[in-house]
A and B are shown apart, each in its own frame.
Chain A
């Protein structure tokens, strides 16, 4: 598959595809982080995670339309407002869902899967009724347009760079919250031993609700970032849900580092192969490899050792 390319061309191809892979990586990481918190820490299968992401994307779209209409002065920085709103909207919806539905199902993980699938169908239809079946995109402010030329043959789009930087910051924030704050310690305590955590005075129900809300809120931010690189439709979330679950499972469900490593591997493999093979073949090969590795190593790449 490499015939007909010179070495220099191959280098540029790998660099460009590698960069395209990094953008995919950012979206995967943002989506998978939320899911890793919900699935890895709480053991809940949230099939509606994609729809929480799309909610963030629609909030961003609304924000961009409203700001350019009424507050054009703020347009260059509307994205930051939109992102915060997306986090709040998805997070609140997540907490509502946890309160109304998930909390009754903690002992039945397979049933959460079916119930959240039902939720995702309802949300999709709501989006379709409110925003229409066609995909919508946002207008980027000027400073996010264009690309940086690294060498003669390698060009890097600025919005991609921005999304990547954003991902890094968000990942750091989540890491700090989960592993360096008192609240994060409470979350991890509840997930490792619910009864004992309750016995030492942690309000486990409150921790559950906030954790679920945090996971969904991060999905909203992912959706917000997603609008920078693609357009949004009512069913866009569903396209990513299987990939994201594979990312989380492949990385080892309880490990955030594992999630990032597996998101990196999967996205790079897919985008590099996409250039040489057709898109569908690349995707099939990637998914098959991941599934094959998971069959050999069901616990995923990184395992957190916990005594139960």
Chain B
């Protein structure tokens, strides 16, 4: 790769900010104007996955840690939100036909007579908002601490996070009385008295979600351009050298893993609010690994690419499974293989290879350089 001297850091930052502005234009103005309420809600749902993909770009693309358990954090965030909404929907008046009024309906069906202790704090909205971020981060911290301090990494880390995804799914499905089982937590109605099922509410939630996503992209850009981001790239490429330079590598890995977990959890909570339910089918092995492909299609090194990749894969998924359901798995499988073997840097890689040079010729000044980072010496591990 040719390194030009003119391409200095401040200029690249402007380019990236222009890319963010374009994304904001697209999801805050173009899509809401161009799509009807139903489709817009669907795009909102996809955008919640983009939070997970952003976390993976930092975790996997920058730092080289592939987590196959992002669904855990997405699910935990979503479940925290759903527990609050469910408690609000199960007021004693609304559930007076149950044998124990005032507890969620699925608990009543499972012969529970009082609210379990860990549900109690979710009566409070501030606690819930805190828990949405804190519970997944804490779990990520514990897992990260145990694994990275012992220098477990690479494929072992991937397999163990995947095992966690399996464990959590089995737990949620098995403990039906406490979690709603395979159906999940459904029939959510209001947020602090505000009905989230109306079209108006869905539009408001879409904009909240989109704005949060833009904020998340900016935050990730900040992390990436900070010294921390540089160290993450360094430890991906030559972990031992970073260690010998006196850095505690494990702490950086734990941080980026927790950061990715917190981002995913915010996505999960927004998912619950917009879609109106949460179930174990967003937690397990299959959704977790699908989230990795969103990030890979966009380009594992590019933050904006990850957002576009998520939108594209989900849009294709909806389109294909609406008209040719049996083709979808073939397409998805081919995508996995293709993205690994043919274009390992995803959409962002293609953009940089083919589109960016032409744009640069057309407009020699200020061209958005979507997510430029130093690629690993041999394609990322």
Contact = CB atoms under 8 A, between A and B. Distances in A.
Q: Is the interface of A mostly helix, strand, loop or mixed?
A: helix
B380 A242 contact: no
A111 B159 contact: no
A183 interface: no
Contacts of A129: 326
Contact of B150 (A111, A114, A122, A298): A298
Interface in A109-134: 109-111, 113-115, 117-122, 124-125, 128-129
A37 interface: no
A298 B156 contact: yes
B330 interface: yes
Interface stretch (B75-83, B257-265, B335-343): B335-343
B170 interface: yes
Interface residues of A, number: 41
A125 B170 contact: no
Interface residues of B, number: 47
Contacts of A109: 154-155, 381
Interface stretch (A26-34, A55-63, A173-181, A280-288): A280-288
Interface string A121-149: 11011001100000000000000000000
Nearest to B336: A118
Q: Which of A124, A249, A284 has most chain B Cβ within 10 Å?
A: A284
A114 B150 CA distance: 25
Nearest to A47: B289
B337 A245 contact: no
Given A246-B163, A291-B160, A295-B150, A117 B336 contact: yes
A104 to B, nearest CB: 6
B329 A121 contact: yes
A115 B337 contact: yes
B171 interface: yes
A244 to B, nearest CB: 10
B381 A110 contact: yes
A249 B341 contact: no
A111 B378 CA distance: 12
Interface string B283-327: 001100100110010000000000000000000000000000010
A242 B166 contact: yes
Contacts of B155: 43, 45, 109-110, 113
Contacts of B335: 118
B177 to A, nearest CB: 12
B381 to A, nearest CB: 6
A119 B329 contact: no
A110 B329 contact: no
A122 B166 contact: no
B152 interface: yes
A117 B332 CA distance: 10
A124 B329 contact: yes
A105 interface: yes
A206 interface: no
B52 to A, nearest CB: 16
A128 B330 CA distance: 11
Given A278-B174, A291-B167, A114 B329 contact: no
A45 B166 CA distance: 18
Contacts of B381: 107-111
A122 B336 CA distance: 10
B208 to A, nearest CB: 33
A187 B332 CA distance: 34
B341 A101 contact: yes
A273 to B, nearest CB: 13
Contact of A242 (B150, B162, B174, B337): B162
B294 to A, nearest CB: 12
A115 B154 contact: no
B146 interface: yes
A298 B156 CA distance: 8
A246 B159 CA distance: 8
A229 interface: no
Contact of B147 (A107, A238, A295): A295
B158 interface: yes
B57 to A, nearest CB: 15
A294 interface: yes
B285 A108 contact: no
A287 B337 contact: no
Interface in A289-308: 290-291, 294-295, 298
B333 A118 contact: yes
A110 B152 CA distance: 14
A118 B337 contact: yes
B173 A280 contact: yes
A117 B289 contact: yes
A119 B333 contact: yes
Contacts of A298: 147, 150-152, 156
Interface string B184-220: 0000000000000000000000000000000000000
A295 B340 CA distance: 29
Interface in A201-253: 238, 242, 245-246, 249
Q: Which of A121, A122, A291 has most chain B Cβ within 10 Å?
A: A121
B174 A122 contact: no
Nearest to B162: A242
Contacts of A246: 159, 163
A73 B147 CA distance: 57
Nearest to A121: B333
A118 B159 contact: no
B154 A110 contact: yes
Contact of A249 (B156, B170, B286): B156
B170 A284 contact: yes
Nearest to A279: B174
Contact of A118 (B175, B326, B332): B332
A114 B163 contact: no
A284 B293 contact: no
A114 B339 contact: yes
Q: Which 5 pairs across A and B sit closest by C-beta, in order of nearness? A: A118-B336, A280-B174, A122-B333, A121-B333, A125-B329
Given A110-B158, A280-B174, 4 more contacts: A111-B379, A114-B339, A115-B336, A118-B336
Interface of B: 66, 68, 146-147, 150-152, 154-156, 158-160, 162-164, 166-167, 170-171, 173-175, 285-286, 289, 292-293, 296, 326, 329-330, 332-341, 344, 378-381
15 contacts: A101-B341, A109-B154, A110-B381, A111-B340, A113-B66, A114-B289, A114-B336, A122-B329, A124-B329, A128-B329, A129-B326, A242-B163, A245-B162, A295-B152, A298-B152
